[in-house]
Amino acid sequence: MRLSPRSLVSFARWREPAPVVAVLRLAGIVGQMGPLRRGLSLAALAGPIERAFGLRHLKAVALSVNSPGGSPVQSSLIAGRIRALADEKKVPVVAFAEDVAASGGYWLACAADEIYADAASIIGSIGVISSGFGFQDLLRRIGVERRLHASGARKGMLDPFSRERPEDVEHLEALQHSVHQDFIEMVRARRGGRLQAPEEDLFSGAFWSGRTALGMGLIDGIGDLRSVMRERFGEWVKLRPVVAEKGWLRRRVGLVGTGGDAGAWADAVLSAVEERMTWGRFGL
């Protein structure tokens, strides 16, 4: 019996294991969002990251990133763990931005050796932001007295029910500058000579479409995960999603902290509002 060329290729593929690409989904706000809403954190992702780099016949790890940012600490910890295992296992990492890879989300994408995005993805926002409200005048109008007792001259710094003090703002701005510089140095280290725009633009906190980000050197190409991985490793490549395991209670009822805990529910509502505002900054 004479085999056709296609049959020979299929037979060879049958004998050889198909290449595997682990897919880690990094979606949502970075950091703790409250007892009923889980954000991206190293504590939650350490297991999936370890499993992703431990798959058999692994050729690459793909990061599916869809995040408007959040905690710079958790962004750094997650990206650092990914890089440590990538270097240890000698496995390439490729990031794919979906709707947004901005601020801490872009920090996560920079853990990869290459970054791809859709032409309409939101990319960038390399900066640091802090927001809040001041209620001191409202309290006075409704006849509420604010009583704040602290040991330490700066312990009540930036209290939303007290008048803002210039020295407190100066302290916050110094802290933001320090974190911003860490962010900038990480981007410089990871993107190197690929950055093609002036630093005053790149690190201004502005964000751009994927198409514009490509010209600035913030990403390496326009493309989606499946297409790029099939082009790189062949149509037989197996994409293996690796997800965090749910706890017993979360598997049974989908919630944690139920049972009439009004505080937990209130925290969840506030977390949802904060999350909505963070996504809303990028028009989503």
- Cβ partners under 8 Å of residue 194, min gap 6: 217, 220
The CA–CA distances, whole Å, from 234 to 13, 20, 112, 154 equal 11, 11, 21, 60
Lookup result for tokens 């295992």: 85
Pairwise pLDDT comparison (132 vs 74), residue with the higher score: 74
- Assigned domain for 199 exists: no
Tell whether 152 and 64 lie within a shared domain. no
| Residue 164 sits in the same domain as residue 34 | no
Number of domains comprising the chain: 2
Shared domain for 215 and 250, answered yes or no, is yes
- Asked if residue 72 and residue 189 are part of one domain, the reply reads no
Give the pLDDT band (50/70/90) at residue 278: low
CATH number for position 249: 3.90.226.10
Q: Is the pLDDT of residue 250 over 70?
A: no
Q: Are residues 39 and 104 in the same domain?
A: yes
Q: Does residue 237 sit in the same domain as residue 119? A: yes
Distance of CA 97 to the CA centre of its chain: 10
Q: Which of 193, 214, 231 is the last residue of a domain?
A: 193
Task: Indicate whether 120 and 174 sit together in one domain.
Answer: no
Q: What is the pLDDT of residue 257?
A: 45
Per-residue pLDDT tens for 62-108? Answer: 999 999 999 999 999 999 999 999 999 999 999 999 999 999 999 99
Per-residue pLDDT of 173-225, as tens digits, reads 888 889 999 999 999 999 989 999 999 999 999 999 999 999 999 999 999 99
> 114 lies in a domain?
yes
Question: Using 50, 70 and 90 to split pLDDT, how confident is the model at 36?
Answer: low
Does residue 179 share a domain with residue 71?
Answer: no
Q: Which amino acid is at 282?
A: F
Q: Which domain holds residue 141?
A: 129-193
Whether 61 and 86 have beta carbons less than 8 Å apart is answered as: yes
CA-closest candidate to residue 94, choices 46, 51, 58, 57: 58
Contact 242, 52 (CB under 8 A): yes
Q: Long-range contact list for 144-153, CB < 8 A, 24+ apart?
A: none
Greater pLDDT, 220 or 243: 220
Residues 67 and 136 in one domain: no
Q: How far apart are the first and last CA of the chain?
A: 59
Overall pTM surpassing 0.85 (yes/no): no
* 42 inside domain: yes
pLDDT at 172 over 90: no
Q: Kindly report which listed range (41-45, 56-60, 255-259) carries the lowest average pLDDT score.
A: 255-259
Predicted confidence at residue 236, as pLDDT, reads 94
Residue 37 has pLDDT above 60, yes or no: no
248 falls within a domain: yes
One domain for residues 100 and 226: yes
